[in-house]
């Protein structure tokens, strides 16, 4: 699992100021950067150890950019409300996981209690580690 003492660089994507989940605060690195919303991240490859992404910007393209800016064996952390993601056009939670699994190994999933999920308040937190290039499926940018 992620060793918090080793986190030096982190990136937050899609969180408005003050909207950052408290449970993620412990994963911030000493050199922390933040982006509101961006199709392509203005950072070089392999810059960060941890990237935390908001459900508002979650997409296949943003996950591809996260993969690019993470160092080898870097971590992607994100949370989402199942009900909200399903309303965005994802058919199921497995659709979301399949986007992530093409470039990451999902290491841990934290889910809300069953009664919160029944009320539509279910939150899922995902911890995923970047796959090494050889084991990642074709997860590179397509240049035309």
Domain assignment present for 17: yes
How far is it between the farthest Cα atoms of the chain? 48
Among 5-9, 41-45, 58-62, the minimum mean pLDDT is found in: 5-9
- Domain containing residue 82: 4-130
**∠ CA 47-101-84, rounded to 5°:** 95
Tens-digit pLDDT profile for residues 72-127: 989 999 988 888 887 888 878 888 999 999 899 999 998 888 777 677 678 888 99
- Return the CA Rg of the chain: 15
- Specify the CATH number for the domain of residue 120: 3.40.50.150
| Contact (CB, 8 A) for 63 and 113 | no
Domain assignment present for 97: yes
pLDDT tier at 144, thresholds 50, 70, 90: very low
Domain assignment present for 104: yes
Neighbours of 61 (CB within 10 A): 13
pLDDT tier at 20, thresholds 50, 70, 90: low
The CA distance from 42 to 89, in Å, is: 28
Domain assignment present for 91: yes
Domain assignment present for 61: yes
Q: How many domains are there within the chain?
A: 1
């Amino acid at each position: 699992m992620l060793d918090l003492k080793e986190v030096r660089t982190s990136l937050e994507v899609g969180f408005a100021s003050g909207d950052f989940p408290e449970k993620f605060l412990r994963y911030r690195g000493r050199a922390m950067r933040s982006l509101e919303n961006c199709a392509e991240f203005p950072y070089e490859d392999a810059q960060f150890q941890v990237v935390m992404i908001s459900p508002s910007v979650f997409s296949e393209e943003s996950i591809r950019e996260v993969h690019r800016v993470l160092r080898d064996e870097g971590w992607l952390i994100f949370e989402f409300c199942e009900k909200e993601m399903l309303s965005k056009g994802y058919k199921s939670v497995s659709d979301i996981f399949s986007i992530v699994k093409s470039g990451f190994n999902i290491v841990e999933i934290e889910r809300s209690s069953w009664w919160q999920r029944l009320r539509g308040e279910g939150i899922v937190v995902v911890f995923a580690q970047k796959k090494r290039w050889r084991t990642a499926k074709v997860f590179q940018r397509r240049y035309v």
